[in-house]
Amino acid sequence: MHSSFRWLVGTLLSVCLSTPVWAQSFPAKPVTLMVPYPAGGVSDVIARTLNTTLAKHLGQPVIVENLGGASGGIAAQKVLNSPADGHMIFQGSPNE
């Protein structure tokens, strides 16, 4: 019983210590921050303010892309059609 407990503890430790090896680096490429309104508005200013902070924390450049039209529907559709890899972020607000 004592040796099986030691074996269990050793197995658990090896699994716990090896999990960071399985982690993938994210993001692997630049991140796009999609703003659903034309450049120069309040949403654009907020996105460009967040841009530098996000880039610093993610370790990758953050590209701000403005795509106005259809009350944000065109930009939302572009984000929905993009690959679901987390490299495209939609910036919206409750009142838009």
The 10s digit of each residue's pLDDT in 45-90 is 989 998 999 999 989 999 999 998 888 899 999 999 999 888 999 9
Report if residue 96 sits inside a domain.
Answer: no
Domain holding 31, by residue range, is: 24-90
Report if residue 62 sits inside a domain.
Answer: yes
pLDDT (0 to 100) of residue 18: 61
Q: Where are the alpha helices (DSSP H) in 1-96?
A: 2-22, 42-58, 73-81
Residue 60 has, within 13 A of its CA and on its CB side, a CA count of 16
Domain count for the chain: 1
* Collapsed DSSP state (helix, strand, coil) of residue 66: strand
Report if residue 54 sits inside a domain.
Answer: yes
pLDDT (0 to 100) of residue 23: 60
Report if residue 14 sits inside a domain.
Answer: no
pLDDT in tens, 9-47: 777 767 666 665 556 677 889 999 999 999 998 889 989
What pTM value is reported for the model?
0.70
